[in-house]
Amino acid sequence: MPVNDTLATYSDWLYRAAALVYVFAMIFYTIEQAFTRKAKKSEFARELIGAGAPTTPDTPAVGRIEEPAGAGKPERFGRIAVALTVLGALLHLGSIVTRGVATGRAPWGNMYEYGAATMFVAVVAWLVLLRKFDVRRLGAFVLTPVVILMFLGGTALYTSAGPVMPALQSYWLVVHVSAAILSSGLFLVPGVVSVLYLVKVRHDANPAKFAKIGPRLPAAESLDRLAYRTTIFAFPIYTFGIICGAIWAEAAWGRFWGWDPKETVAFVAWVVYAGYLHSRATAGWRGSRAAIINSVAFALVVFNLFFINLVIAGLHSYA
């Protein structure tokens, strides 16, 4: 099928527009974070109380939302940031859809398209969490890696719209790669949150550390719970993606597993995530040690996404 150059051009424009809107959203999130003196205590606190967590003098009563000091203009900046994030997600979706229509295939056949789809999942996951939890002031931290990875995708990894090589012309491109995109995008949020958890814990232990960021972050228990819930949702999808990849490998290369570099690092990341979920469910390994494991697992996912594909030669290098 010939490529529709007009739609491909529109896709590139929408991608750039989405990245630019995310930058402005990140700026507004940062403004809200900088000018709000105290993190809001609301949904997380009520959820922890409902789960049987002990109350403290800093824990608001069930059903009551304690407004942060300095609410007003910072709150408006935060709402603008959310609106810009939604706008960016819509532009982002338009870029992916027009790319797929222009090429007549699933729009994730190369690193540029894969990265675009993964970042879109990450942004949508963040917006969903915003509706359930009061974590808007983490927006700048979540959008920062999204903007960086989109910039790299649109520059160093950019690939013109076109057909994919024969090895990728399979329905497994939709099944296996879709699962990898969903799980990788979802893992971005708990990866960032786990790092912020470590920052919060160190600030709570020594207020002199991270004095500008720590007080504005949600409670450490809240960050830990958010990271765990998002990871436990993404992990089965990641597992499904690895299984589908093995089935596709048998059909394409005649073996289910060949210890290709990408396969190996994906398996190592799976083991680390499994270790995180196990440690998080074990009372003796909650807290900082579990957050470190989750951060390492996400670092492996990012390493596998970029370094393995671009630097190390393997059967997946064509992606």
Give the pLDDT confidence of 17-51 residue by residue, as tens digits.
999 999 999 999 999 888 876 544 444 444 444 44
Residues in the chain: 319
The token pair at 295 is 């951060």
Does residue 279 register a pLDDT over 90? Answer: no
Q: What digits encode the pLDDT tens for the residues 176-223?
A: 889 999 999 999 999 999 999 999 999 888 888 888 888 888 888 889
Q: Is the dihedral of CA 202, 204, 210, 214 positive or negative?
A: positive
User: What average pLDDT does this structure show over 70-75?
Assistant: 68
In this prediction, residue 167 carries a pLDDT of 65
Label residue 307 by pLDDT band (50, 70, 90). confident
Domain boundaries, the chain: 165-319
In this prediction, residue 182 carries a pLDDT of 95
Task: Using alpha carbons, select from 248, 241, 252, 260 the residue that is nearest to residue 315.
Answer: 260
Burial of 34 (0-12, 13-18, 19+ CB in 10 A): middle
Label residue 267 by pLDDT band (50, 70, 90). very high
Q: Are 310 and 196 in contact (CB under 8 A)?
A: no
In this prediction, residue 318 carries a pLDDT of 54
| SS3 of residue 53 by DSSP | coil
User: What average pLDDT does this structure show over 134-143?
Assistant: 90
For the ranges 52-56, 83-87, 176-180, the one whose mean pLDDT is highest: 83-87
65-74, 154-163, 171-180: segment of lowest average pLDDT: 65-74
Find residue 41's DSSP bridge partners.
66
Does residue 139 register a pLDDT over 70? Answer: yes
In this prediction, residue 311 carries a pLDDT of 67
Does residue 315 register a pLDDT over 60? Answer: no
Q: What percent of the chain has pLDDT over 90?
A: 48
Task: Using alpha carbons, select from 186, 194, 193 the residue that is nearest to residue 241.
Answer: 186
How high does pLDDT run on average in the chain? Answer: 83
Does residue 314 register a pLDDT over 60? Answer: no
In this prediction, residue 34 carries a pLDDT of 82
Label residue 260 by pLDDT band (50, 70, 90). confident
Residue in this structure with the two tokens 């609301």, named with its chain if needed: 42
pTM (2 d.p.): 0.84
Planar angle of CA 164, 166, 172, nearest 5 degrees:
85
The token pair at 137 is 């002031």
In this prediction, residue 284 carries a pLDDT of 67
Q: What digits encode the pLDDT tens for the residues 89-137?
A: 999 999 999 999 999 888 988 889 999 999 999 999 999 999 888 888 8
Question: What is d(CA 141, CA 125) in angstroms, rounded to the nearest whole number?
Answer: 14
Greater pLDDT, 199 or 311: 199
Q: CA separation (Å) from 113 to 23, 163, 204?
A: 20, 12, 41
Q: CA separation (Å) from 312 to 34, 148, 156, 260?
A: 41, 22, 16, 10
Q: CA separation (Å) from 144 to 64, 139, 311?
A: 32, 8, 24
Find residue 66's DSSP bridge partners.
41
Q: CA separation (Å) from 237 to 116, 177, 229, 270?
A: 19, 11, 14, 11
DSSP 8-state symbol, 157: T
C-alpha Rg value of the chain to the nearest Å: 21
Task: Using alpha carbons, select from 147, 155, 188 the residue that is nearest to residue 22.
Answer: 147
Does residue 66 register a pLDDT over 60? Answer: no
Does residue 163 register a pLDDT over 90? Answer: no
